Amino acid sequence: MFTPNDQMRLARAYVPFQIFSQRLNPMEGLMKGTIFPELYFPYRRHHK
Amino acid sequence: MWFYEKKLQYPAKVGRANVKMAKYLITQYGGPDGELAASLRYLTQRYHMPTPQAKGILTDIGTEELAHLEIIATLVYKLMDRASIEEIKQADLGGYYADHDKAVYYVNGSGVPWTAAYIQSKGDPVADLHEDMAAEEKARATYEWLINLSDDPDLNDTLKFLREREIVHFQRFGETLQIVQEHLDAKKYY
């Protein structure tokens, strides 16, 4: 389970900030829909 | 003010005309979780956002949703292209045809016209950003169900691009929520 840190309070939603690290080349980024590999979550069909 | 780029953000190819798929896909045009709803929601909520960053992200994403609207319209138009009356009847689109011919109109997958009741502009930036994050997740799920309905690899390629953009937008709204909440907290204690 995710452990909250002392900056967080209850009854609030948190999305971690993206920290810039690496970047795909522009063409690969266009094809994937993002230039950030850490934000790329492709869909795998499960209901068939 | 906007500048218009006379090309699509991403290619909108279809393998073949497919009236049934057009009927399903049109929900991302004028449906509850579609691109029109997304765009108009963000572009009107931006006025009451408390920080320049939040105003900026709603303007940027609201604008990008217009680019997605244009991609969906192109796909629907291509899927309907050269459809015969017989094919339209088979896809149960006779009712749509009677009202619109093969024009692209703002309806959901069952032909119900778009309504502003799909969106909210609450005036509370925290409440509105939560709606925006939910909207991105609902649109992502819709793209997944549409990919499940489609056996056209060209169409699915574009749908996968649009789905990934929803994930990126969710991340940006999540970061914006944090910025706005910190801003509102700081105001309470000068």
Distance between B91 CA and the closest CA of chain A, angstroms: 21
The DSSP output letter for A18 is P
Q: Residue B187 CB: number of other CB atoms within 10 A?
A: 9
Domain B19-188 has CATH 1.20.1260.10: yes
Contact yes or no for A30 and B177 at CB 8 A: no
Q: Return the residue of A nearest to B151 by Cα.
A: A48
pLDDT of residue A46 exceeding 80: no
Contact yes or no for A32 and B162 at CB 8 A: no
Hey, what are B85's tokens?
A: 């009356």
The DSSP output letter for B71 is H
d(CA B115, CA A38): 36
Hey, what are A28's tokens?
A: 């690969």
d(CA B59, CA B46): 7
Q: Are B60 and B165 in contact (CB under 8 A)?
A: no
Q: How many CB pairs under 8 A join A and B?
A: 56
Q: What is the pTM of this model?
A: 0.96
Interface of A with B in 21-40 (CB under 8 A): 30-34, 36, 39-40
Contact yes or no for B168 and A39 at CB 8 A: yes
Contact yes or no for A40 and B164 at CB 8 A: yes
**What are the strands, taking DSSP E only, across chain B?**
none
Please report the ipTM that was assigned to this predicted complex. 0.93
pLDDT of residue B108 exceeding 70: yes
Q: Return the residue of A nearest to B185 by Cα.
A: A9
Measured between beta carbons, the chain A residues lying within 8 angstroms of B171 are 15, 18, 39
d(CA B175, CA B169): 10
* Residues B44, B48, B51, B54, Cα dihedral to 10°: -30
| H or E stretch at B118 | none
Q: In this predicted model, what pLDDT tens digit does every residue of A4-39 receive, in sequence order?
A: 777 789 999 999 999 999 999 999 999 999 999 999
Phi, psi of B139 (to 5 degrees): -70, -40
Q: Are B1 and B76 in contact (CB under 8 A)?
A: no
Question: Where are chain B's structural domains?
Answer: 19-188
A5 close to B (CB below 8 A)? no
The pLDDT confidence band at residue B127, using thresholds 50, 70 and 90, is very high
Q: Which residues lie below 8 Å from residue B11, measured CB to CB, with a gap of 6+?
A: B158
Q: In this predicted model, what pLDDT tens digit does every residue of B21-48 receive, in sequence order?
A: 999 999 999 999 999 999 999 999 999 9
Residue B132, class by beta-carbon neighbours within 10 Å (0-12 exposed, 13-18 middle, 19+ buried)?
buried
pLDDT at A48 (0 to 100): 56
Q: In this predicted model, what pLDDT tens digit does every residue of B45-98 receive, in sequence order?
A: 999 999 999 999 999 999 999 999 999 999 999 999 999 999 999 999 999 999
Of A14, A42, A48, the CB nearest to B160: A42
pLDDT at A45 (0 to 100): 81
Question: What residues of B are in the A interface, CB distance below 8 Å?
Answer: 10, 130, 133, 143-144, 147-148, 160-165, 167-168, 170-171, 173-175, 177-178, 181
Q: Are B50 and B183 in contact (CB under 8 A)?
A: yes
* pLDDT averaged over every residue in chain B: 97
Distance between B16 CA and the closest CA of chain A, angstroms: 21
pLDDT of residue B100 exceeding 70: yes
